[in-house]
Structure 1
C-alpha cells in the first residue's frame, strides 16, 4: 500500500528558536551557568563540546534539539543538543513537536538544505532567518509513518554515534598509555624524530580538465585529532610529485595558517596516500628513531604550545616548518617505545574499523533518506536493509 504525502512546512512538525547572544559580562570559561554556543566552533561529529558558559541568557536549546548554524560560511551545519545550552545569535534551535519524530525533522531539513544554502549564500554575508527555516517545504506522511521513518534513521544515527564514541575511546586510551609512559621522560625537539617536516602543495583546483583529478586535504579536514577526507577538494595532478607533501599512514598533519585554525592536529590513518595543501604541514617520522604510530601521540597534547609558536599578526598567523621542528616533546628510546607502539597499533586499528563502519552506515542513511522521504521506498523495505546492515556489522566484530 502506497504512503500518502501532503505538502507542508517545517513549522508543521517543529519549533524554531533563534539564538540571542548574552552580554559579555555574563560569559566566561569558568563553567558557571549554562554552556554557551555561539557558532559551529564547538561543534563535533554529533554533539558540541562547549568552551564558554553564561550565567544570564534568554534563548536555550533543550536535549534532543537540532542545533543549526544560521550565519556565515558555516551556515547549515548541524549538531544534536545532548544537554541544555544557551544559544547565541549564530545558532538556531529546532525542536520536534513530537520528540519521537526528531530524526524525521532532521531528515526533512537535510533533504532541502542545498536549496536553503543556495538562497542564503546569495548575499555578501550568508544568513538564514527564522521565517526561512519555519517555511522550509516538507512532504508529510501520516504521524505514524513519520515516527517509523524517524525510528529507522535514528537507529542508524545511534549506531554511527556509538562507533564514533568507540573510536574516540580508543584514541583516549592510547593517549593515557602514552601519558603514563612519558611522565618522567626527558625532552627533545620534534626534529629529533622526523624524516621531514614540510608544507603541502599549492593546488590547481580541478575544472573539468582531461586528466583525472586527485584529492587534496585542507585545514577544514583536520579537527580533534582526526581527518575528514569527505571535506577534501579535487586538484589537477601535479607534473612532478612532491613526496614530502603526501600524507601516508601514521604521518602527523598540522594546520599551519590562521588564528583559530592553526595548531589543529591529526594522524593520517589510511593506507591510501593523499596530498595536503600548503596550509597544512606534514610531519613524517624517522623509523630509525621512533615507531611512526607513536609520534602523533607525543604531539597531540601540545596543541596549545603549537598555537603559541605561530608568528604574524592576528588573523594572518603562520607556523613555519622550522619553528614546528623546535617543539619540545618527550624523549623515549626505541626499547621504551616498542611495547607502547604495539598497543597503539591495535587501538588505532580498532578506531579505523569503527570509522569505516560509520562511513558505510552514513552512506546507507544518505541513500535511504530521499527514498523514504518521498515514499518511493516503503518503511518495511528500508527496515530490512537497516537490519541487515546492523547485523552485518555485529558479525564483523
Structure 2
C-alpha cells in the first residue's frame, strides 16, 4: 500500500547552492582534499574551499545534474554547484534527493548544457521531515557501505591476481598471440531479438566494472558479440588500463564496444591468467609507447601491436594458476551481489524520497539484503 507523499517545497527552500571555484590543473598541488568536478572527483589538492559533509551538482557539460557526495572537506570546481548551506536538512538525504531529480528539462545553455542556480531553485520536490530524512539516510548508507565493501573485496582480489603473475616472479615470457586469439565477430544491435543485452562499454567499465543491461534498440552501432569467456582490452588510450575479465551470463547476449579487443584464451590458458598478465605494468607501458593518433584523447594501439607484444607466460606458474581462478570467482561474486544491491537501492530510494514507500517496509528489505 502506498503512503501519503511528503509535502513539496522548492529546491531553494531545501539547500542554498553556490557556484564552485576555478582551479587549473597546473595550479594544483597534491594534498588531502578531493577536487570535485561535474563528473565527480578529478584530483587532489592541498587546499580546501568547502567543508564537509557536502554535495556537488554538475553544472555544465555531459555530466550536468550529476550529484556527488563528499564526506569530508573538498574543493568544488567551477563546473559544479555545491551546497553552501543545507538549511537544516540531512546532507546524505539531500545527495540522494538530488539524484532523483531530472535536470535535463532545466538546461539553460545552448550548445553546452548548463544549470543556472537561480533557475533550478524553483523546482518543486517532495521533502521528508528531518526524522524521516535521517532514517532514509541510514538505509541508503547501509546499502552504499555494503556496495563499497564488496568493491574493495573485488579490487583486492584483482590486485592479488596481478601480484601472482608479476614479472618479478618469473622471467619466462611469450607473445600475447601465443596465449589467445582475437575474436572479431560483430553484430548489429537491431538484429538482436532478445529484449535485454549485457553491454560492455568503456563508460560501464569506468563506472563500476559491470555491464549495462539494456534493450538492444538503445545501442546505435555494431558491437562485438561475445559468447564465451574472454578478456576485453581497450585499445583506446592504453595509458588508462581498461582490461575486463568477463564471462557472459546464460541467456543474455553479451555485446562489447569495438574500442575493446576481445581476447579469447587458447587451450590451457584461463581468462584469469590472461587478465593477470595483461595487467602488468611492463606490458601496459609497451602498449602506450605504440599508440597512433594525433589527439591525446583518442590515441589507439593497433591490434597487431597488441598481439605481438610480450607478456609474462602464465604457463610457467603452478599453484598460482588455481589461486587466480579462486580470486577471480571471489571478485565476480562480489560484483554480482553489488548489481543486486544497486538495483535494490535505486528502486527503493525514489519511492522513499517521494513518500510513496513506507520507511519501515524498506528497512525490512535492506535488513534482509545486508
- The corresponding residue for 2:333 is 353
Given the alignment of the two structures, is residue 188 of structure 1 paired with residue 174 of structure 2, yes or no? Answer: yes
Instruction: Give the aligned CA root-mean-square deviation in angstroms.
Output: 3.5
Q: Distance in 1 between matches of 2:273 and 2:189?
A: 33
Given the alignment of the two structures, is residue 125 of structure 1 paired with residue 112 of structure 2, yes or no? Answer: yes
Which residue of 274, 293, 310 corresponds with 1:312? 293
How big is the shift at 1:95? Answer: 6.4
How big is the shift at 1:182? Answer: 4.4
How big is the shift at 1:139? Answer: 0.8
- The corresponding residue for 1:137 is 124
How big is the shift at 1:53? Answer: 4.0
Distance 1:210 1:187, change over 3 A: closer
Q: Distance in 2 between matches of 1:94 and 1:200?
A: 49
Kept in 2: contact 1:15–1:96 (CA 8 A) = yes
Which residue of 165, 181, 200 corresponds with 1:178? 165
- The corresponding residue for 1:393 is none
Q: Which runs of 5+ in 2 are unaligned?
A: none
Which residue of 215, 219, 222 corresponds with 2:205? 222
Given the alignment of the two structures, is residue 387 of structure 1 paired with residue 367 of structure 2, yes or no? Answer: yes
Kept in 2: contact 1:263–1:306 (CA 8 A) = no
Given the alignment of the two structures, is residue 27 of structure 1 paired with residue 18 of structure 2, yes or no? Answer: no
SS of alignment partner, residue 158 of structure 1: helix
- The corresponding residue for 1:363 is 343
How big is the shift at 1:318? Answer: 2.6
Higher normalized contact order (CA 8 Å, seq sep 6+, divided by chain length)? 2
Kept in 2: contact 1:71–1:127 (CA 8 A) = yes
- The corresponding residue for 2:266 is 286
Offset from partner CA, 1:140-177 (integer Å, 9 cap, x none): 23211222222222222222222222222222232233
- The corresponding residue for 2:15 is 14
SS of alignment partner, residue 146 of structure 2: helix
How big is the shift at 1:33? Answer: 6.8
How do 1:60-99 residues align onto structure 2 when only pairs under 5 Å count? 60=50, 62-94=51-83, 97=86
Distance 1:53 1:382, change over 3 A: closer
How big is the shift at 1:86? Answer: 2.1
- The corresponding residue for 1:395 is none
Kept in 1: contact 2:15–2:84 (CA 8 A) = yes
SS of alignment partner, residue 112 of structure 1: coil
Kept in 1: contact 2:154–2:332 (CA 8 A) = yes
SS of alignment partner, residue 125 of structure 2: strand
- The corresponding residue for 2:6 is 5
Kept in 2: contact 1:199–1:277 (CA 8 A) = no
Q: Distance in 1 between matches of 2:341 and 2:278?
A: 31
How do 1:103-114 residues align onto structure 2 when only pairs under 5 Å count? 103-113=92-102
Number of matched residues? 361
Q: What's the TM-score once normalised by structure 1's chain length?
A: 0.77
- The corresponding residue for 1:148 is 135
Q: Distance in 1 between matches of 2:108 and 2:275?
A: 37
How big is the shift at 1:200? Answer: 6.4
Distance 1:23 1:214, change over 3 A: closer
- The corresponding residue for 2:357 is 377
Distance 1:173 1:328, change over 3 A: same
Q: Distance in 1 between matches of 2:123 and 2:228?
A: 43
